Structure 1
């Protein structure tokens, strides 16, 4: 069976549209129809029902879908196995939420290599949506992310949490801040919801950014106010570039580890999850960061 037939079937399961699937796979609609027809002939069952209201899975299509996902994952796993270049032919591709790359990245790499010396690691910074898509396709082994997505092929669990605090180059108190001098951090949907609940007066502003690194640059270049990771806030305060804003709440962002469901109970993945939990929990519990925040709370 050609893997293109499986890929086309699974994409059509998501889009429910032959036109959209053709656009997403960069093929013609007739090619999509031909692949689905070929797959149905191979299986001997009708998989989709087309009507004026759209495209939907038949009962046989619903039964076939989880097996199609398994076939796609097995194919991607087989491809990875033939391309590995580590000492023992084992490699792990790990994705990290962009903001988490700066949290002792060298120590994280050292811990992973010490625990799994015969494994070749590939780390990359990315966004949650892309990492979830890669996990579902089987092209990524593990992801450390802010926003897990509900998907039948993905298992996510909370492993730690990070903290964001408000700093300013101009103001010392929350009551002094005007929306036009404030940069909204859009780091994750959970962060945005908490921010809107706690700081409704600062949730409709002209400028928003989605990365901690970008926020740091803009704070300095625009002489502004915004939320940054606690360890970044400490560095800015210690250097005399910013002050912690009094009366501004600390916002907690959960950190999740995600794997393909088939790998959930495999030893290498459980070992990596343990390392991640220890590493990021250590950053969340850093006493010096808590002291920095505590000093601001006491002043307020």
Structure 2
């Protein structure tokens, strides 16, 4: 199979421009045209129609697109499976929820390296919905996230939970927290549900965010009260930038790992999951 034909077709599905696809793939426009003709000849149908208005997918092209994505994903899986039996290291592509990075990224990477020392790591931060889509498509090998988005090709396991602690620049008691200066945290649907149930009088705020780093910055700059990760709360208190509110409930946010269904019984992934669960158990 000539995977270049598939890659070129899928890029054209995004750009709808032979010129832009040629630029993105680093080839000439005539090469792009030749690849499309070769793919159409192999399939016996017309996939793309060019006009002055641009490039559009034909009905056959629309039908072929999801199959092309599956072909590319399977090609990637097959290529990496072959590499696993050779001397070259595989690359483990990992997505991690934004709040689980911060100054803790080194511990996550160390845990992954200990579980799969023969692999090179590619790590990126993202949100749960996108990471689930990327695991399903094969763009990521696994994702550590807050909110599972079930799909037929996805497998989820619990890793544990992280705690969020209320802090304030104004008070040390929950009763004295002012709703007017409260920075509303919105880290994940599960967190927001727990927050609304425990603290209904603080369920609105003039400023809101879904990232721990952003909320920390807002708290330091603007003052007020909010929830941040437990470790961030301890750091703020130690630096004299905020005070812990000990009578406010801690809110636990569950953490999950997502892998493709085909990998759930593979030994390397079982080692990864066991190691990550152990690493999570040691988090503050």
TM-score (norm 1): 0.71
The alignment partner of 1:118 has SS state of coil
Counterpart of 2:236? 236
Q: For residue 206 of structure 2, what is the aligned residue in structure 1?
A: 206
CA–CA separation in structure 1 for the residues paired with 2:259 and 2:69? 15
Shift of 1:112: 2.6
Match of 1:104, SS state, is helix
Deviation at 1:209, TM superposition (A): 0.7
Which residue number in structure 2 is paired with residue 195 of structure 1? Answer: 195
Asked whether the equivalents of residues 94 and 121 of structure 1 are also in contact (C-alpha less than 8 Å), the reply is yes
- For 2:260 and 2:144, the matched residues in 1 are separated by 13
Mapping 1:236-255, distance limit 5 Å: 236-255=236-255
When residues 175 and 112 of structure 1 are mapped into structure 2, their CA distance, relative to the original with a 3 A threshold, is same
Q: Which structure 2 segments of 5+ residues have no match?
A: 17-53
1:30-67 CA deviation, whole Å, 9 max, x = no partner?
A: 51524146x49xxxxxxxxxxxxxxxxxxxxxxxx9x8
C-alpha deviation, 1:208, in angstroms:
0.5
Matches within 5 A, 1:54-203: 71=71, 73-78=73-78, 88-102=88-102, 104-203=104-203
CA distance in 2 between counterparts of 1:99 and 1:168 reads 20
CA distance in 1, matches of 2:126, 2:223: 28
The question of whether the paired residues in 2 share the 8 Å contact of 1:72 and 1:137 is answered with: no
Contact 2:166 2:227 (8 Å CA) reproduced: yes
Within 2, Cα distance between the matches of 1:125 and 1:4? 25
Deviations 1:139-175 (Å, cap 9, x if unpaired)? Answer: 1001000011011111111111000010001112222
CA 1:262–1:6: 2 relative to 1, 3 Å: farther
Output the TM-score relative to the length of structure 2.
0.75
Q: Secondary structure at the match of 1:123?
A: strand
Q: Is the 8 A contact 1:76 1:137 kept in 2?
A: no
Alpha-carbon contact 2:6-2:68 (below 8 Å) kept? no
Q: By how many angstroms is 1:78 displaced? A: 4.3
CA contact (8 A) 2:111 2:276 kept: no
Cα separation, partners in 2 of 1:26 and 1:170, compared to 1, 3 Å: same
SS in 1 for 2:259: strand
Paired with 1:184 and 1:127, the residues of 2 have a C-alpha distance of 19
Q: What is the DSSP-based 3-state SS (H/G/I as helix, E as strand, rest coil) of the residue aligned with 1:117?
A: coil
- The structural deviation recorded for 1:103 is 6.0
Aligned length: 243
Question: What CA RMSD, in Å, does the superposition of the two structures yield over aligned residues?
Answer: 3.1
* Shift in alpha-carbon separation, 1:118–1:160, aligned structure 2, 3 A: same
Q: Structure 1 residues 30, 68: closer, same or farther in 2, change over 3 A? A: closer
> Aligned equivalents of 1:221 and 1:83: distance in 2?
50
Deviations 1:168-196 (A, max 9, x none): 01112222222220001111111011111
1:101 is displaced (CA, Å) by 0.9
Maintained 8 Å contact 1:76/1:139: no
SS at match of 2:253: strand
